[in-house]
């Protein structure tokens, strides 16, 4: 790490708000590119907390996975081609049947009583 970007830096003190929220100092938010709603992992280290922006962790994970796939000689297309079969296996394991089985039962009725309602093109007359 360079001298301009130390691994640990104390900048300010913040307080926990009424709803349990913490305010991340503006300079940190700007330096790390954090916007409203940015997800964080909260890690406990002894008596302290570490806040780790999830986006950074996700990016590092993607880089590691990509490097591993490249090292194994796999391409994105190879991996994507396995998804349909993997979905079928997960579905069968979860529901005990293959996708599409009992499909006719699923589309038989949309109302809890089993009756189908038809939509009228115009309101009924008052007669």
> Could you read off the pLDDT of 50-61 as tens digits, one per residue?
888 887 777 787
CATH (domain of 43):
2.10.260.10
Whether the pTM exceeds 0.75: the reply is no
Token pair 């109302």 in the structure block, residue: 111
Residue 46: domain span: 12-74
Q: Is residue 95 part of a domain?
A: no
Q: Is residue 49 part of a domain?
A: yes
Give the span between the Cα atoms of 48 and 43, in whole angstroms.
8
Q: Count CB atoms within 10 A of the CB of residue 60.
A: 10
Name beta bridge partners: 52. Answer: 41
Q: Is residue 33 part of a domain?
A: yes
- Residue 18, pLDDT score: 92
Q: Is residue 97 part of a domain?
A: no
Burial-class residue 12 by CB neighbours within 10 Å (0-12, 13-18, 19+).
exposed
Summarize pLDDT for 86-122 with one digit per residue, the tens: 888 888 888 888 777 765 555 554 445 544 444 444 5
Give the span between the Cα atoms of 107 and 109, in whole angstroms.
6
């Amino acid at each position: 790490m360079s001298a301009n970007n130390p691994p640990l830096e104390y900048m300010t003190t913040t307080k926990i708000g009424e709803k349990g929220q913490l305010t991340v100092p503006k300079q940190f938010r700007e330096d790390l590119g954090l916007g409203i709603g940015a997800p964080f992992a909260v890690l406990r280290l002894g008596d302290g907390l570490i806040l780790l922006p999830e986006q950074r962790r996700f990016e590092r994970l993607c880089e590691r996975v990509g490097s591993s796939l490249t090292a194994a000689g796999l391409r994105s297309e190879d991996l994507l081609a396995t998804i349909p079969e993997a979905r079928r296996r997960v579905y069968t394991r979860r529901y005990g049947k293959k996708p599409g089985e009992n499909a006719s039962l699923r589309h038989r009725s949309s109302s809890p009583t089993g009756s189908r309602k038809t939509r009228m093109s115009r309101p009924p007359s008052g007669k």
